[in-house]
Amino acid sequence: MAIMYALKSSDNEIFEVEQKVIEQSETIKKMIEDGAATGEIPLQVSSKTLAKVLEWCKQRQHKTVENENDDNKGKRKKERDEDDDIKEWENKFSDELKADKDVLFDLLLASNYLDLPALLSFLCQLVADMVAGKMPEEIRRMFNIENDFTPEEEKAITAEHGWAFQP
């Protein structure tokens, strides 16, 4: 029988999760090891975001097991043919997040708080891909970044890093 844990979101929703799945979070793993995880584990994460975190962890679980086996043998190059399914899943996951930036950034904060390095790295790459190839004005618009430079300041920076602003 798999050991189950109950996670409580910030809006008081309970998620029943297998230990193996949730142990990917270093934060929770530590709570379990310290014996602090009796009963419900309260987390500062909304139910909507926590659901996404668990979706990731469940998908990731199989991958980690496979990769670990590979590591023991040495190294294995990523084979594009063998990773098709995972890639497809990841693409769908990314598309959903791109469409809902509230969840995307909540998830980034959650992965940092729960110490899920693989998810954090995946999300950082996702945001980087969104930024790549865009000019500053587009990036500001995409992420609602307020430009608090005076026009003179902005001009000065653009001039200083001239090499970065040539198309």
Partner 1 sequence: MDAMGDDVVNDWINQLPDEILVDIINRLSVVEAARTSVLSTRWKYLWTFITSLDFHSPRGMWKVLNKLDENEQSIKWTWGAVYRRYDREILVKRAKYICWVNKVLELHRGSSIDELKVSYELYDSHERIITSWIRAAISKGVQKLELNLRAAWGNRQYTFPKELSSISSLKSLSLSGVNVTSEIIESLVYNCPLLERLCVANSRPWLCLKVVISSIRLKHLVIEGCFSNEEFEISTPSLLSFKYHGTGHIKLNVQNVPQLVDLYISGYNLSNMIRPFINYLTQLETLELHFYLCEDNTRSPLCELPKLRYLTLSVSAPGAGNLFVLTHMIRACPFLLKFTLKFQLVGPRTERAIKQFPKCAHEHLKVVEFIGFVGHSIDLELAFYLLKNSISLEKMIIDLTSPFSRGNYWDFEDCEEKKEEKKAARMRARKLKEKAPKGVKLVIY
Residue ranges binding partner 1 (CB under 8 A):
73-75, 79, 81-82, 101-102, 104-105, 108-109, 112, 120-121, 124-125, 127-128, 131-133, 135-136, 139-141, 143-149, 154, 157-158, 161, 163-165
Helices (H), ranges, the chain: 19-22, 26-33, 47-73, 84-99, 101-113, 117-131, 136-143, 151-160, 162-165
Smallest gap from Cβ 86 to partner 1, in A, equals: 15
Q: Quick one: angle between helices 47-73 and 117-131, nearest 10? A: 100
Smallest gap from Cβ 18 to partner 1, in A, equals: 28
Nearer to partner 1, 2 or 159 (CB): 159
The answer to whether 107 touches 52, Cβ cutoff 8 Å, is yes
Smallest gap from Cβ 138 to partner 1, in A, equals: 10
**Cα–Cα distance measured from residue 167 to residue 165, given in angstroms and rounded to the nearest whole number:** 6
Taking the CB of residue 107, how many other CB atoms lie within 10 A of it? 26
Smallest gap from Cβ 42 to partner 1, in A, equals: 21
Nearer to partner 1, 16 or 81 (CB): 81
